Amino acid sequence: MNYVELNNGVKMPILGFGVFQISKEETKQAVLDAIQVGYRSIDTAQAYFNEEEVGQAIQECGIPREELFITTKVWIDNYGYERTIASVHESMKKLKIDYIDLILLHQPFSDYYGSYRALEDLYAQKKVRAIGVSNFYPDRLSDICAFNQVIPQVNQVEVNPFHQQVDAQSNMIKNNVQIEAWAPFGEGKNDIFTNETLETIAKKYGKSIAQVILRWLIQRNVVTLAKSVHKERMKENIDIFDFVLSDDDMHTISTLDTNESLFFNHQTPEAVDMFINLIHARKNQ
């Protein structure tokens, strides 16, 4: 496994295992399988409703805690200083760990300033090893970098061949923030797994399209997350450190960029309405 060094010196695996949209019933075994095939970074969130199952896998996997890198995220409904503090302690309880390697603010809405200051205090108390944000566009990321004591170590955003976030990554590099990708495969949208350009490159290296995408990301120094509930697919996704894409192939993939999200734009009123509805819906879960 390759690692990146965050702006505070903490080392983070460049490839991690994400549990978004994995059911509670499947999560524990999926995480155990992922760890067994070699993953050491596990990414969950309060809003995924599977922190407890991730915690069970952490407890049973047999790998020393210090060899694992555990990420979770604070959901919007827990924003505000006091609520964030309480929710992070609750996440640690569910995860059965006494510190979190990386804690992120999940969305750029509501009182994220109060929540970020809570993360700064938890960081100072060594309850978390690194702090950051998720889905923060360049303007909001620059804002939070400029007016807080601790620069975020990570910003987790959508990055895939159709939405490559080149300008956003440049802004993160400027601010010394590590970019991390969610939805590297775009959840299969735009027929990504049958794309002719990616298929041609994959055949050249004797790899799958998924492996080419993951390799393309890590060659851009993008920390990325791969998700699967199938052990063979997990093995395939982690088997990307034995080949290197050529400069020509990297350029060819760059031509696929549409510079638009495959999901939604956080900067629209409709996105705000969507997250308000999500907050209300998840209160009942």
| Residue of 3, 39, 48, 113 marked catalytic | 48
Element (H or E) spanning 182, and its range?
Answer: strand 178-182
Torsion over CA of 219, 221, 271 and 195, rounded to 10 degrees?
Answer: 0
Polymer length of the chain = 285
Element (H or E) spanning 53, and its range?
Answer: helix 51-60
Residue 48 annotated in active site: yes
- For strand 3-5 and strand 11-13, is the pairing parallel, antiparallel, or unpaired? antiparallel
Output the CA angle 130-132-138, nearest 5 degrees. 145
Contacts of 54 (CB under 8 A, 6+ apart): 19, 27, 28, 31, 42, 44, 70, 95
Element (H or E) spanning 155, and its range?
Answer: strand 154-158
Chain center to CA of 84: 19
Q: Is 106 annotated as a binding residue?
A: yes
Binding-site annotation: residue ranges:
106
- Catalytic annotation, residues: 48
Binding-site annotation: residue ranges for substrate:
106
